[in-house]
Structure 1
Amino acid sequence: MRLFGVTGWKNAGKTGLMERLVAEFTHRGLTVSTLKHAHHSFDVDQPGKDSRRHRDAGAHQVLLSSRSRWALMTELGEADEPSLEELLARMAPVDLILVEGWKRDRHPKVEAWRAETGRPLIAPDDPTIRAVAAKGDPGIDDRPILDLDDTAAIADFIAAEVGL
């Protein structure tokens, strides 16, 4: 499975870039899935709905299905968070999986970076970052610098990196 990540600090433009890349790759006729890492608790279930009531009653897993989609929610309890590798093993085969987050994992990535945030680049200390998609001058010359707003160029770079 081809995998490429988008990483960066908060407010660097990761989610917007992910959204544009998914649209770009699907426009090119590829199937794309995404994984997003959250550093906080999140919920995809609405209080009072049947699936939430099942979960609140103590179900370890709740699978919700309709004609349009299905979703499987698993409660971790005291168990460790699954690794990226374990989560990838659960994904259906597609042409490309884009991963947002997982900064410290060893898959290839592009770093989203904006000068206005005042945050330093991650890239200088991380060889898994193959390019920087920047708004402003990141001040490095040891890897490609792409315009954060040039989605097609970033998609071309990723496609070349993963062999699409």
Structure 2
Amino acid sequence: MAAVTSVTVDGLTLNPAAYRLDSWRGIPRLVRIDGECWPQCQDMNVEPGEVGSFVITYQPGRALPLVGQIAAGEYACEIAKACVGAECALPQQMASLSRNGVDIQMIDPTTVVEDGLTGIQNVDLWIRSVNPARRAQRSRVASVDTYRGRFA
């Protein structure tokens, strides 16, 4: 879930009670609620923490559904196994094997990653279920004419 960690204006950290994180059409918006206004601009030549600076530290994101958490946990476990040299499911390169005719078909791990997958069957099934069109990011339409600011 998206969260604002801190807001610093002119080198002074604001009290978290001075602002809140709203959502407008699914887009997070930081709203000042202490009666003051946000700076109109900032001096890009000064370091963070100096007069003229305006710094927002945040953590982007949305809550992951339970099935996604399970898939992420399985993926993390396989990476941990690989890091310590234990047997793991990474990478699952063998597609097929024929014994007597000696036909071995391998999958190139780079093609799995290029498709946005991991090579772990359960994890990839979840990825395909939430992103069947294999989009790199969510679709959206933006227009400067649509946002009218926050009222009340």
TM-score (norm 1): 0.23
TM-score (norm 2): 0.24
